[in-house]
Chains A and B, each alone.
Chain A
Amino acid sequence: MTAVLTDPNRPAQAPAFQKISTARQIKNRLATVLTGLTFLVAVIPLVWLLYTVISNGYEALLNGDWWFKSLKGVLPEQFTGGVYHALYGSIVQALVCALIAVPIGILTAIYLVEYGNNGRFARITTFMVDILSGVPSIVAALFVFALWVTTFGLETSAFAVSLALVLLMLPVVVRSTEEMLRLVPDELREASYALGVPKWKTIVKIVLPTALSGIVTGVMLATARVMGETAPVLVLVGYSRSINFDVFDGNMASLPLLIYNELLNPEPAGQLRVWGAALTLILLIMFFNLVATVISRFSAIKTK
């Protein structure tokens, strides 16, 4: 008979906590590997794309004329000239579009959130916005062509491109602004009403400033998005190798249009310009996204 000595404070018994079971360890390992793999699958094309564009196009950007000269008088086989005219076109067409789409979009979102009360008209508006966001860009371009050129008999121009871009940008602005406005707590609206502030002033002075950071981000991202649209520029404006500052008249280049035209150029110089312009477009959109981040950080609500 062997007396087992046990400490009365620590009775001998099985530990309450058990080791992680093998099955769970395997599941855990499996899930970790799986998520890692999907991440890689998502990242590989992105890195590959960036590598291809940068390695093929960076030389074009090193040329000092790239940012400040157009292709006016440049022969297809010459390694000179730049994309100044197309850069101008891309930025201006997007800005004109934003100038029209942003006020309409924000006002629509304000109507939906503050005045619509989820009534019949508000629901119809939301439905229409949903449909508009599903419209392919080529359809938007053809619609503007039918309206602007065929019906009104006006010339194709950069402005017509902007109009088509408005159709593509509007639903994005409405949706993102609507979401931001809904995030503003009703308590703030009530606090403002309780001070004897009328509804419109509450919206302008309390609700919009509170949601400003998110609205600005949404608008900038939407602007960056329409910059890369190709269908409207193919349908609604002619290509020009020189600078045209006039939005309402004449042909105007833009980066997607320049890429498309230089694709038809079999010379090595043309190839370089295609990759260069592609890289420039990526940089331009990245720049807009960066600006959006900076602006939203500056207009973000501070608590300290």
Chain B
Amino acid sequence: MAKRFDIKDLNIYYGKFHAVSSVNLAVPPRNVTAFIGPSGCGKSTVLRSLNRMHEVAPGARVEGKVLLDGEDIYASTVDPVEVRRTIGMVFQRPNPFPTMSIRDNVVAGLKLAGVKNKKKLDEVAERSLRGANLWNEVKDRLDRPGGGLSGGQQQRLCIARAIAVQPDVLLMDEPCSALDPISTLAIEDLITELKKDFTIVIVTHNMQQAARVSDQTAFFNLLGVGQPGQLIEVDDTEKIFSNPSQKATEDYISGRFG
């Protein structure tokens, strides 16, 4: 069910502040696209605009188009709730629902959408937890609270929760930045697995991670303080890390930035 993204001339504003200017980007299906760049360059903002999550902030708006398989998710007839159901998201810090058990966390999306069939929910819980490589670790304590897991397990629980509603696209906002190297490795392996079924866009500060997991890399940069962030270059990951066409990209990647 993976779908492709086409981002056309996307400008993002918070009130009067122009956060990101004219991004053009194509994200092919069953593919991992990594967003890299210095802090504050707007990569998270672009990511959040891909499922209209940035609208949660007051005063946020966009100009331009974000097409999901040709359909504009910002068309006036489109319900943002429906967009988010189709495009899932994993956040920087693991955020399982503290009042729910592990199982209920995984099926929260379905349960809150009104699915009551216990057998189906159990099936989905198992499939999603297996999909997130967490099943073996938690299968004996599905009724325990999700908050009792370790950080890495919680993040995989959140991934299981995101894929349980069977989205077409999975957005990840620095999913490993709060995790230790072992948990990071587990998540990276998982991303490689998940890309068989999902289109994945991941924001990361870790360039090695971008090089390891992504097929395509987009480099964002800030031209100056108070200026909007910009997409500098997007290409195959291999090309970006070996022979980027822009000087700024090369400087950033080789650590000679600024």
Do A and B come together as binding partners? yes
B-chain residues with CB within 8 Å of residue A302 when the two chains form the complex: 145, 147-148
**CB-contacts of B152-167 with A (<8 A):** 158, 161-162, 165
- Name A197's contact: one of B95, B113, B148 (CB within 8 Å): B113
Q: For B161, what are the chain A residues with a Cβ–Cβ distance below 8 Å?
A: 191, 195
B85 contact from A195, A205, A304, Cβ within 8 A: A195
The residues of A that contact B58 with a CB separation of less than 8 Å are: 117
How far does the alpha carbon of A201 sit from the alpha carbon of B109 in the complex, in Å?
Answer: 11
Stretch at the interface among B86-94, B227-235, B236-244: B86-94
In the complex, what residues of A have CB within 8 A of residue B34's CB?
Answer: none
B84 on the A face (CB < 8 A): yes
Prevailing SS type, chain A contact patch? helix
Write out the residue numbers on chain A whose beta carbons fall within 8 Å of the beta carbon of B38.
none
Contacts of A189 in B (CB 8 A): 56
Output the nearest chain A residue to B52 by Cβ-Cβ distance: A193
Q: A42 to nearest B CB, angstroms? A: 35
Question: How many residues does chain A have at the interface if contact means C-beta atoms less than 8 Å apart?
Answer: 25
Q: Evaluate contact between A303 and B148: CB separation under 8 angstroms.
A: yes
Do B84 and A193 touch (CB < 8 A)?
A: yes
- Chain B: interface size category: 20 to 34
Residue in chain B with minimal CB distance to A212: B99
Please pick, from B82, B88, B91, the residue contacting A190 in the complex, using a CB distance under 8 A.
Answer: B91
- Give complex CA distance A85, B242 in Å: 87
Task: Tally A-B pairs: CB < 8 A.
Answer: 82
What is the chain B residue whose CB lies nearest that of A189? B56
Interface residue? B108 (CB, 8 A): yes
For residue A250, which residues in chain B have a CB less than 8 angstroms away from its CB? Answer: none
| B97 and A196 contact, CB distance less than 8 A | no
Interface positions, chain B 47-88, Cβ under 8 Å from A, are 51, 53, 56, 58, 81-86, 88
A298 to chain B, nearest CB (A): 13
Report the separation of the CA atoms of residues A190 and B148 in the bound assembly, to the nearest whole angstrom. Answer: 21
Contacts of A190 in B (CB 8 A): 53, 56, 89, 91, 95
For the complex, is A206 an interface residue (Cβ under 8 Å from B)? Answer: yes
Pair B147/A210 contact, Cβ less than 8 Å: no
Q: Does B120 contact A (CB under 8 A)?
A: no
Q: Is B15 an interface residue (CB 8 A)?
A: no
Q: Tell me the bound Cα distance from A185 to B93 in angstroms.
A: 11
Partner of A185, one of B95, B109, B162: B95
Q: Judging by beta carbons under 8 Å apart, are B108 and A301 in contact?
A: no
**A198→B162 contact, CB < 8 A:** no
A139 located at the interface, meaning its Cβ lies under 8 Å from any Cβ of chain B in the complex: no
- Known A187-B91, A194-B53, A195-B85; judge A301-B165 contact (CB<8 A): no
- Quick one: CB contact mask for A109-122 with B, threshold 8 Å, 1 for yes? 00000000100000
> Is A192's CB within 8 Å of the partner chain B?
yes
Which of A186, A195, A301 counts the most B-chain CB atoms under 10 A from its CB? A195
| A interface residues, Cβ below 8 angstroms from B | 117, 185-198, 201, 205-206, 209-210, 212, 301-304
13 contacts between A and B (CB under 8 A): A185-B95, A187-B91, A191-B158, A191-B161, A193-B53, A193-B56, A193-B84, A194-B84, A194-B91, A195-B108, A196-B109, A210-B97, A304-B148
